[in-house]
Amino acid sequence: MQDTISANVAAVQARIAAAARRGGRDPSAVTLVAVTKTRSPAEVEAAVRAGVRHLGENRVEEAEHKIPQLRLPGVSWHMVGHLQSRKARQAAGLFDMIQSVDSVRLARKLDALAGERDAPLAVLIEVNVSGEGTKYGFPLSDRPALEAAVAEIAGLRHLCLQGLMTVAFIAQDPEEVRPVFGGLRALRDDFRARFPQVDLRHLSMGMTDDFEVAVEEGATIVRIGRALFGPRM
């Protein structure tokens, strides 16, 4: 298992680097988050031994069981799935970054929890770019709501807003989702001009089936499960 996962990590890193160069970008500007949902602790440890430093989970229930039993110094954990408000307390204690902030109410709650813990929490705002396929995220079409969310969340004292995240729809051909990734990048560029005081450095976009297109379009974080660990049962 270690050999397989090590080879997969190396292959994915090489594909990320090649896509970055095609997009005229520095490969080191792209962070690989290994999405470990459904994977065993041994598989997670194998990925870390292979050099992965960022891990992602999409459900608090699973993360609550998995993360505390793994002692992985120097590794950070990312919440990438929909987060219910009533799970926010556990999530604030488990994760270094919440990528899936999809309401101002959730952001306020996370801010209060991070304040209680006296530990700043990194967050991304999830955007539903295509308006289809994904249920979560601020719709791209509601620009006023998005602007209000960025303005308020950037001002929350215990959160550190670092950018935007999206989940594209499932496509036969990854070229079909290129406009989704380009759309998120264009939004980020607009917001950089509109909110120069906010460091919107991250664009989290791209998964196993479409990460190369996402990197060509400017992804700084890709979230990859199956290309590293194989198909999910």
Positions in the binding site for ligand PLP (CB under 6 A): 35, 37, 58, 80-81, 167, 207-208, 223-226
In the complex with ligand PLP, the residue whose CB is nearer, 20 or 224, is: 224
Q: Which is nearer to ligand PLP, 138 or 198 (CB)?
A: 138
Minimum CB separation from ligand PLP for residue 121, in Å?
18
Beta carbon of residue 168, minimum distance to ligand PLP (angstroms, whole number): 10
- Dist CA 26 CA 42 (whole Å): 32
Closest approach of ligand PLP to the CB of residue 63, in Å: 12
Other C-beta atoms closer than 10 Å to the C-beta of 74 total 6
CB atoms within 10 A of CB 157: 9
> How far apart, in Å, are the Cα atoms of 52 and each of 98, 197, 202?
18, 31, 18
Question: What is the distance between the alpha carbons of residues 219 and 211, in angstroms, rounded to a whole number?
Answer: 8
Shortest distance (Å) from residue 197 CB to ligand PLP: 29
Beta carbon nearer to ligand PLP, 153 or 224: 224
Of the two residues 11 and 119, which places its CB atom closer to ligand PLP in the complex? Answer: 11
Q: Which of 55, 57, 60 is nearest to 31 (CA)?
A: 55
Q: How far is the CB of 23 from ligand PLP (least distance, A)?
A: 20
Least spacing, CB of residue 118 vs ligand PLP, in Å: 29
E strand segments, the chain: 31-35, 54-57, 76-79, 97-101, 121-128, 138-139, 159-165, 202-204, 221-224
Q: Which of 209, 156, 167, 133 is nearest to 58 (CA)?
A: 167
Pick 163 or 225: Cβ nearer ligand PLP: 225
The least CB distance from residue 126 to ligand PLP, in Å, is 9
Pairwise CA distance, residues 90 & 4, whole Å: 33
Give yes or no for a contact between 5 and 50, defined as CB atoms under 8 angstroms apart.
yes
Question: How far from 23 is each of 56, 71, 95, 197, 215, CA to CA, in Å?
Answer: 25, 36, 31, 27, 7
- CB nearer ligand PLP, residue 183 or residue 206: 206
Closest CB to ligand PLP: residue number: 225
Is the Cβ of residue 99 or residue 153 nearer to ligand PLP in the bound state?
Answer: 99
